[in-house]
Structure 1
Amino acid sequence: MLKRLWKSLGVALALCCCFGPAHAQSAAPITMGQINLTFYVATGAVIQAVLEELGHDVKVTEGNHSAIYDRLGKGEVDMLVASWLPHAHGKLQAPLASQLVEAATLYEGARLYWAVPAHVPASVVRSVDDLKKPDVIARMDKEIVGVGPGSGLMVGSAEIMQRYGLESAGYQLKLGKPDEWAKRLANATASGKWMVMPLWQPQYLNALYPVRVLDEPAGIFGTDRAVVVVRKAVWESWPARTRTVLSRIQLGIPVVTELERQIVVDRKPPAVVARDWMKANPEIVRAWFAS
């Protein structure tokens, strides 16, 4: 019992050492943009918590992919958490690239892909091309539903549909709402139904349901890094302390997956999830805030 008490006190002191001096500085307000999907909300909550500890007043604005990049280009938001580069968001960011600074890489290995529930036999459906097999066409749900209008997932999925001739095989690509999209996988897992799930990592559904990623020989979806981008003029106006701390933040795919799971499944407020994770990982946070 005493040992646990000392450990708790140690965690609290570590956080005080990290955060305490930051409150003393007066820093400019920040408008932070994030895409309105919950895994972006999870990372945004951590970045917001860090910036607030550094003394910034943070206003968060959300929108779909094209809307947020439009606001970033117009200077209506100061930063974006986060841009998937170089593939998923590359075309959206390219016109703005000279105006932006890549401030931090939150995680490597970000991937978009098509998957099937694990109960679909790999001997029958191993790749996207296998979806055209007559026996697969006869059994597979012909609706392929993705999320995020203008997202890399939908743009790439449309290219996959065309490249592999899936429309002529009877498949349709549709845009759905996130809760309906997630429910499709839950229902298919429970019922044994065959379906295709446009998916990505980090994504909390990967932690809830067994899925298998399909091979995609054309390589339309690449592997990305998730980057916090800041308008160059804004970045240069920030205190050196803010720039240093922000540049050190790394989370990793397992962390983001778990944060999103708590937000969606456990229904915890994003700010609470972010703060609780930071308190539970004082050594990581201390390294961000180290002098």
Structure 2
Amino acid sequence: MQKSKKMLPLVAAMLMAVSGFVKAQDVQERKPVVMGQVNLTFYVASAAVVREVLERLGHNLTVVEGNHREIYAKLGNQEVDMLVASWLPHAHGPLQAPIADQLVEAATLYEDARLYWSVPAHVPVSAVRTIDDLKKPDVHARMEKDIVGVGPGSGLMVGSTAIMQQYGLEAAGYTLRVAPPQDWAKKLADASGSGKWIVMPLWQPQYLNAVYPVRVLEDPRGIFGTDRAVVVVRKETWNALPEHTRKVLSRVHLGIPAVTELERQIVVDGKEPQRVAREWMETNAQTVSAWFED
């Protein structure tokens, strides 16, 4: 009996060693996962957390960036295995529709994802409350006519184009164009500092909401809808993932305030995205721990 008791630690150690070998072998044999992300920093912020989760689960990841059209094309062509994240059903619905039957909705990172047109908070609400108000003579005389957005083919630009047409803003002399993110952000920074009146196509989560006071314009025609940000994975990739990975990934949820703050640290504080993700996960250890439970 005494001899059996002495053998227990040895047997346990052997079992742990075998288990460790199996897990290591399993990790080694796993196919690398190619993660797609749109090249705007709020997507980078969300993707950094998802990447950290998958790497902690032993997956090797390659990250591929591009604009909206490029990433959805790569997803359809099997050049990327997953996308972090698709705004559904409105903003990215048309881009995802042709390949929707090839995808699994793996996780919802945040709800209440919204696109909208806004103005700096110094623009009086009594003058400009709705998008229609941009055509009022006194507003038209003062408002800058050059409206700048970001992301070729993005839901923001597709919806903004519809706004221009349906509200008759082109006929009123307004123009809409795509600019690099830094030029788009600088336009709001300059207006906030100078008191200039501009229209700012914007969304949430977006770090600019935390840096500059802005006010959302009412959209009586309801051009933009409310979405949820979904991690979508190709079905064959999803089915090949270990069950525990699928469970953990399905639990990942961040929320609008968290993504806004993550992006603010990346853009304003100049922190490396994976560092920001790790620090957020450490600060929110109880939440993250629940994701990984068996």
- Identity, in percent, stands at 70
The residue number in structure 2 matching 1:71 is 74
1:29 positional shift: 1.0
8 Å contact kept, 1:62–1:68 = yes
The residue number in structure 2 matching 1:167 is 170
The residue number in structure 2 matching 1:223 is 226
Match among 111, 115, 119 for residue 112 of structure 1? 115
Match among 72, 92, 95 for residue 92 of structure 1? 95
SS in 1 for 2:107: strand
1:92 positional shift: 0.3
In 2, Cα distance between equivalents of 1:118 and 1:277: 30
1:168 positional shift: 1.0
Following TM superposition, the consecutive aligned residue runs of length 4 or more in structure 1 with deviations greater than 4 angstroms are: none
SS in 2 for 1:75: coil
1:34-73 correspondence runs (5 A): 34-73=37-76
Match among 167, 170, 180 for residue 177 of structure 1? 180
Which one-letter code corresponds to 1:280 in the other structure? T
Which one-letter code corresponds to 1:190 in the other structure? G
Say whether 1:205 aligns with 2:208. Answer: yes
**TM-score, reference length from structure 2:** 0.91
1:266-285 correspondence runs (5 A): 266-285=269-288
In 2, Cα distance between equivalents of 1:264 and 1:28: 32
1:110 positional shift: 0.1
SS in 2 for 1:145: strand
In 1, Cα distance between equivalents of 2:279 and 2:139: 45
In 2, Cα distance between equivalents of 1:168 and 1:235: 48
SS in 2 for 1:110: strand
Could you give the per-residue CA deviations for residues 238-276 of structure 1, whole angstroms, max 9, x where no partner exists? 100110000000000000000000000000000100011
In 2, Cα distance between equivalents of 1:103 and 1:83: 11
Could you give the per-residue CA deviations for residues 139-187 of structure 1, whole angstroms, max 9, x where no partner exists? 0000000000000000000000000110111100011110010000011
1:281 positional shift: 1.0
1:220 positional shift: 0.6
SS in 1 for 2:109: strand
**TM-score, reference length from structure 1:** 0.92
1:28 positional shift: 2.7
1:247-286 correspondence runs (5 A): 247-286=250-289
**Which runs of 5 or more residues in structure 2 are unaligned?**
1-19
Say whether 1:140 aligns with 2:143. Answer: yes
8 Å contact kept, 1:108–1:224 = yes
Which one-letter code corresponds to 2:100 in the other structure? A
Could you give the per-residue CA deviations for residues 161-220 of structure 1, whole angstroms, max 9, x where no partner exists? 000110111100011110010000011011000000000000000000000000011101
8 Å contact kept, 1:28–1:238 = no
**Which runs of 5 or more residues in structure 1 are unaligned?**
1-19
SS in 2 for 1:95: helix
The residue number in structure 2 matching 1:6 is none
In 2, Cα distance between equivalents of 1:61 and 1:29: 13
Q: How many residues align?
A: 272
1:234-245 correspondence runs (5 A): 234-245=237-248
Match among 232, 237, 240 for residue 235 of structure 2? 232
In 1, Cα distance between equivalents of 2:243 and 2:222: 40
In 2, Cα distance between equivalents of 1:187 and 1:128: 22
Which one-letter code corresponds to 1:155 in the other structure? V
In 2, Cα distance between equivalents of 1:124 and 1:258: 31
In 2, Cα distance between equivalents of 1:220 and 1:133: 20
SS in 2 for 1:62: strand
Match among 32, 37, 47 for residue 35 of structure 2? 32
* Greater displacement, 26-35 / 244-253: 26-35
